[in-house]
Structure 1
Amino acid sequence: MLQACVVGVILGLSIVISADWNFLKCFETEKKCPNENVSFWLYTRDTEDNPTNLNMFEPDTIDRAPFIPGRPLIVLIHGYTGHRDYAPNTSIRPAYLADGEYNIVSLDYNPLALEPCYYQAVRNLPTVANCTAQLLDYMIERRMFTLSDIHVVGFSLGGQTSGMIGNYLRAGKLQRITGLDPAKPLFITAPSEFKLDQSDAEFVQVIHTDVFARGILHPSGHTDFYINGGVEQPGCSQQTTMTTGECNHNRAPEYYAESIATEAGFYGYRCAHWYLYMLGMCRVDEQSMIALMGAHTPNTTRGLYFLNANSQAPYAQGKDFSRRLDFVAPS
């Protein structure tokens, strides 16, 4: 009996150790910049397939980088388990470069955001933000860009990271941030300096697509857009390659990517509160206040807006009032 118990304990411990083995790769990085776990990659039309590493350990790589003079700088920040060739980069970067000449910098902090290390990933975000601010300050000091040239676009954890950049940026306040379904776990009660809010840039736009799971529900910007209430995106329940929640969450960068060149446009209808929308109490007619969502949203836009999207690309429904007179909360 004793021998059997010993064998059982050993087997149990081996199972636990095996199950927890992946956690051994979780770590919190040194809070210093430059940081070997945070890299930056410049993409332009000419270098789309051969990006330039902007290495703060070797500033000459930045000085010699093939930036396009006079063109905007778009900074893309991925989320949990991501990298520079993961959402939002895979949809937004080619959409911008197909539309025109842009300087696009994709962050890669993958070593700090590995699965199953979500807690450590969140703890590492201030360092990612600090290193991003260091790069931006360097380029601004060299007069490569001004604050008005820069637009930071962050997805999920990247959305929350974008809000922390201002804690470290010496050059002044960012002009524009877009948060794509900013992450919810560990951020609901976080202090404002550790998450995205409207104090982080002159204009903060937030797009919500998965508020019951991965994304935050609470308004976080000067203007917040809730697609299908931010609850469940059309067509996601029929997805076979990913979970419904993952599909909902990933629609945020897909919608934004389409907004760069869409002729129809994503137009939201203003409502005072998410709960009023859910109760079907937001009037939608020709007198409703509307706003354009996405890459071309005017910096003066304010308030909460609600809109529907198609179940597959092209997602934008434009201003077709006849399709929206029965606009109510999702069932």
Structure 2
Amino acid sequence: FLGGLLSRFAYQTNRYREMKYFDKMKFKRVADWNFFKCFETEKRCPNENVTFWLYTRETENNPTQLSMFTPDTIRQAPFVPNRPLIVLIHGYTGHRDYAPNTSIRPAYLAYDEFNIISLDYNPLVLEPCYYQGVRNLPTVANCTAQLLDFLIGERMFSLDDIHVVGFSLGGQTSGMIANYLKSGKLRRITGLDPAKPLFITAPSQFKLDQTDAEFVQVIHTDVFARGILHPSGHTDFYVNGGVEQPGCNAQSMMTTGECNHNRAPEYYAESIATEVGFYGYRCAHWYLYMLGLCMANEDSMVEIMGAHTPNTTRGLYFLNANMNPPYAQGRNFSLRDEYPIPG
């Protein structure tokens, strides 16, 4: 009983802090953005602008919508028993058939049987409505937590079964889920180049950090533009320093930044089944790496990045990737034998 009261108190406290923080953001009035059809959704769940789609090997081409408006349809949905649940959250301007879904979802289902839920909150993050999109993220996180609490309460999954993978704004949203989840702390979150604009100075409860799950992994690929530089997880991997990815040297800075940013889900997708592996070596700080003061040698602490990263991994790791797929440059051995996907 006491635990329930404390959980409820923490939930309400986070809601209050969240409202105060986002209210301080200096956005134009929503009415000023009507020309672009920008809007802020009602802060309620379920929400018609936040939808959830279940994919399995059997339903990969015909996914099942999961709606908290009709909970019985969730109970009857074709979940695969005794298999993990992967939750994929897209970013700005995205949808359920946009990164990270297009690369990661088929990679998981080709590798093994999984339950995959792809979020779709596209109406809330339309271009050029980034500011309103950020203000809408707490509602996306709240509705996601509501669904996960339902699945856990129905004993369809446990906290240990669930892995949330978020890209860009979705990476920051994955951290906000912890503000609303009443069942406890998630086992694992992966942030794929979590978004930087409007999040650099945000309090920790409004962005992804290592308090949001038992294990938080972050992959950085565009720290000078769309992605955040600061370490956010129990372990952070900086691919090519997180600065410029090989093959992304287009003339347009906008195109280059998008390419760098989008490499994060591509690297993660490849990490699921690669026999080579993405291996990084440990360095105390990004600045030391950029100054050339961290060099890989026989004594370096080395760890694998991506779907197979052990939940016990800690620290900052640096690695290079190839210009074209396959991107991984690691050792040659079977990941299935030596690094199973943590569950």
TM-score where L is the length of structure 2: 0.86
- Aligned residue pairs, count: 300
Cα deviation, residue 237, structure 1: 1.1
Establish whether residue 104 from structure 1 lines up as the match of residue 88 from structure 2: no
Indicate the SS of the match to 2:40. coil
Letter in 1 for 2:165: V
Structure 1 residues not aligned, in runs of 5+: 1-19, 321-331
Establish whether residue 259 from structure 1 lines up as the match of residue 285 from structure 2: no
Deviations 1:180-225 (A, max 9, x none): 0000000000011110000000000000000000000000000000
Residues of 2 paired with 1:36 and 1:21: CA distance? Answer: 21
1:61 maps to: 73
Establish whether residue 294 from structure 1 lines up as the match of residue 292 from structure 2: no
1:78 maps to: 90
2:336 maps to: none
8 Å CA contact 1:147, 1:173 repeated in 2: yes
Letter in 2 for 1:82: G
1:8 maps to: none
Q: Find 1:231's aligned residue among 236, 243, 267.
A: 243
Residues of 1 paired with 2:293 and 2:206: CA distance? Answer: 34
Establish whether residue 120 from structure 1 lines up as the match of residue 132 from structure 2: yes
Residues of 1 paired with 2:205 and 2:125: CA distance? Answer: 20
Cα deviation, residue 239, structure 1: 8.6
Cα deviation, residue 23, structure 1: 4.4
Deviations 1:244-291 (A, max 9, x none): 110000000000000000000000010000000000000211110011
Q: Find 1:284's aligned residue among 269, 277, 296.
A: 296
Letter in 1 for 2:161: D
Residues of 1 paired with 2:36 and 2:164: CA distance? Answer: 32
Establish whether residue 48 from structure 1 lines up as the match of residue 45 from structure 2: no
The verdict on how the C-alpha distance between 1:208 and 1:286 changes in structure 2, with shifts beyond 3 A counting, is: same
Residues of 2 paired with 1:198 and 1:288: CA distance? Answer: 24
Asked which structure has the greater CA Rg, the reply is 1
The runs of at least 4 consecutive aligned structure 1 residues that moved more than 2 Å come to: 20-24
**Aligned pairs for 1:168-247 within 5 A:** 168-238=180-250, 243-247=255-259
Indicate the SS of the match to 1:76. strand
Letter in 2 for 1:274: W
Residues of 2 paired with 1:251 and 1:24: CA distance? Answer: 29
Indicate the SS of the match to 1:267. strand
1:305 maps to: 317
Residues of 1 paired with 2:72 and 2:175: CA distance? Answer: 28
8 Å CA contact 2:36, 2:129 repeated in 1: no
RMSD value, Cα: 1.4
Deviations 1:118-158 (A, max 9, x none): 00000000000000000000000000000000000000000
The verdict on how the C-alpha distance between 1:253 and 1:33 changes in structure 2, with shifts beyond 3 A counting, is: same
Residues of 1 paired with 2:311 and 2:321: CA distance? Answer: 23
Indicate the SS of the match to 1:243. helix
Q: Find 2:326's aligned residue among 294, 297, 314.
A: 314
Letter in 2 for 1:152: V
Cα deviation, residue 22, structure 1: 6.6
Structure 2 residues not aligned, in runs of 5+: 1-31, 333-343
Letter in 1 for 2:105: R
Letter in 1 for 2:142: N
Cα deviation, residue 238, structure 1: 4.9
Cα deviation, residue 314, structure 1: 0.3
Residues of 2 paired with 1:80 and 1:319: CA distance? Answer: 35
Residues of 1 paired with 2:331 and 2:200: CA distance? Answer: 33
Indicate the SS of the match to 1:312. coil
The verdict on how the C-alpha distance between 1:77 and 1:311 changes in structure 2, with shifts beyond 3 A counting, is: same
Q: Find 1:143's aligned residue among 122, 135, 155.
A: 155
Residues of 2 paired with 1:298 and 1:239: CA distance? Answer: 38
The verdict on how the C-alpha distance between 1:274 and 1:244 changes in structure 2, with shifts beyond 3 A counting, is: same
2:24 maps to: none
Letter in 1 for 2:113: E
Residues of 1 paired with 2:295 and 2:322: CA distance? Answer: 21
Identity of aligned residues (%): 84
Letter in 2 for 1:42: L
8 Å CA contact 1:239, 1:247 repeated in 2: no
